């Protein structure tokens, strides 16, 4: 119970609780199966011994067979459902088997085979209950009671057939050893359960910490992307005195950035539901045409003339559309900043399976393999965004040969 309270306070996730419940069920099944295995092995060894010539009086052989089968049936019944009644039936069937074996002592007297049969029935046929009782409340008292009853029965039966005192000690000692073996195995199973549960809790804590760290990092990258694509882009234009940009366009862009930052500050961009995902209220409510129009307006009045090709009907969900349009905008922005050209072409298409955006320019080009990892404009604002919605980004460029960027997102 202490372990379960610890789990409830430190790892309250439904999935982990279900995993622990499943583990508990499997552990209980393992304990029951181990108990059954010990009992069946002991019963089977004694059953086989009954057929050794001279082990038992022939007239008692049918009764001995029936008693062994009854003990095996009681063990199977106890395995199918753990209860006090079922366990008591195992004890009763085991004691009955001991009585039948001693009653069938041949005229020549007890022999080694008969003694071994008595030991395995008492030590494993009945002693197997020590495995399952260790996992129950009050198990120690129950084990002690059954052990004492078994040992006393063996002593009384040994006296009834006049076993020499020296041999009685060996008989009781072997039965005790077999009981201890069952008890040790049961204790090991119970302790292993606690160890595994604590390990599951530890793994769950580590997973939660890693998940929170990942979400924190994703939120940081999300904020960095937004700032890079909006406010920092506007500040870059201001730092260059707005060269190549119409003053009205620059004012409109600054006003749009101010509105975006204000809405973020008011909490209209919730914490990401999954790493890297976010939805702004204003973009979530836009239709594709309006979103595309906003992108087009961003570059109107700049020194870059963007020619748009293809249909504006792209069948993407809001989250995917938002990421796709942000990445597309950043590609065009990179052309404006770095390609040293006055014209770019953007082609949009939707074949029912893949939504594709192609940004092409005939500018200075570059070597895609030389893009530094810390380059926020392409690594994060384009590649990371598209990959997070299961898309791909391909870049075709070389110095002096222009650039083509292909964005592909599955529907």
The DSSP secondary-structure symbol of 363 reads S
Average pLDDT over residues 176-194: 87
DSSP SS3 for 403: strand
Which of 129, 26, 28 shows the shortest CA–CA distance to 85?
129
Distance of CA 306 to the CA centre of its chain: 49
Find out whether 303 and 342 touch, Cβ atoms under 8 Å.
yes
Q: Domains of the chain, with CATH numbers?
A: 2-206 (no CATH), 277-410 (3.30.565.10)
Alpha-carbon distances of 253 from 225, 235, 250, 260, 296, rounded to whole Å: 17, 10, 5, 11, 12
The pair of three-digit structure tokens given for residue 233, joined into one six-digit string = 């882009």
**Longest C-alpha distance within the chain, in Å?**
120
pLDDT in tens, 340-368: 898 999 999 888 889 999 999 999 998 88
Scan for tokens 């904020």, then name that residue. Answer: 223
Give ∠ CA 220-225-228 in degrees, rounded to 5: 120
Using the structure block, give the residue that is written with the tokens 């020194």.
Answer: 303
Q: Find which of 81-85, 108-112, 171-175 is predicted with most confidence, using mean pLDDT.
A: 171-175
Q: Which residue has the tokens 């792209």?
A: 314
Residue 76: per-residue pLDDT: 93
pLDDT cut 90: percent of the chain above it? 27
Predicted confidence at residue 198, as pLDDT, reads: 77
Rg (Cα) of the chain, in Å, rounded? 40
Contact 28, 68 (CB under 8 A): no
Q: What is the pLDDT of residues 207-236, one digit of tens each?
A: 777 777 777 666 666 666 666 556 656 665
């Amino acid at each position: 119970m202490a372990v379960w309270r610890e789990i409830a306070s430190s790892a309250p996730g439904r999935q982990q609780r279900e995993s622990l419940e499943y583990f508990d069920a499997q552990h209980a099944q393992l304990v029951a199966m181990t108990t059954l295995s010990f009992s069946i092995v002991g019963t089977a060894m004694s059953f086989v011994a009954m057929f050794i010539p001279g082990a038992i009086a022939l007239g008692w052989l049918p009764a001995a067979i029936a008693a062994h089968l009854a003990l095996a049936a009681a063990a199977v019944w106890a395995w199918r459902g753990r209860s006090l009644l079922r366990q008591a039936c195992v004890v009763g069937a085991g004691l009955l088997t001991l009585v039948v074996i001693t009653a069938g002592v041949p005229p020549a007297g007890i022999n080694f085979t008969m003694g071994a049969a008595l030991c395995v029935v008492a030590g494993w046929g009945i002693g197997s209950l020590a495995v399952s009782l260790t996992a129950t409340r009050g198990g120690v008292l129950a084990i002690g009671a059954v052990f004492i009853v078994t040992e006393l029965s063996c002593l009384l039966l040994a006296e009834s057939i006049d076993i020499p005192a020296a041999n009685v000690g060996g008989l009781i000692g072997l039965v005790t050893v077999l009981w201890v073996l069952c008890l040790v195995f049961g204790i090991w199973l119970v302790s292993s359960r606690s160890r595994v549960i604590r390990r599951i809790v530890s793994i769950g804590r580590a997973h939660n910490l890693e998940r929170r760290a990942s979400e924190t990092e994703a939120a940081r990258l999300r904020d960095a992307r937004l700032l890079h694509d909006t406010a920092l882009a506007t500040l870059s234009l201001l730092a260059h005195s707005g060269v190549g940009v119409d003053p009205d366009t620059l004012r409109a862009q600054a006003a749009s950035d101010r509105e975006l930052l204000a809405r973020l500050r008011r909490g209209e961009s919730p914490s990401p539901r999954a790493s890297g995902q976010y939805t702004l209220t204003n973009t979530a409510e836009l239709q594709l045409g309006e979103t595309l129009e906003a992108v087009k307006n961003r570059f109107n009045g700049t020194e870059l003339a963007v020619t748009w090709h293809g249909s504006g009907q792209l069948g993407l969900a809001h989250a995917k559309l938002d990421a796709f349009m942000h990445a597309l905008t950043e590609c065009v922005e990179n052309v404006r900043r770095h390609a040293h050209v006055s014209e770019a072409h953007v082609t949009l298409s939707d074949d029912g399976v893949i939504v594709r955006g192609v940004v092409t320019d005939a500018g200075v080009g570059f070597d895609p393999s030389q893009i530094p990892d810390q380059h926020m404009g392409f690594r994060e604002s384009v590649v990371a965004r598209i990959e997070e919605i299961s898309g791909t980004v391909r870049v075709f460029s070389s110095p002096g040969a222009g650039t083509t960027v292909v964005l592909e997102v599955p529907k």
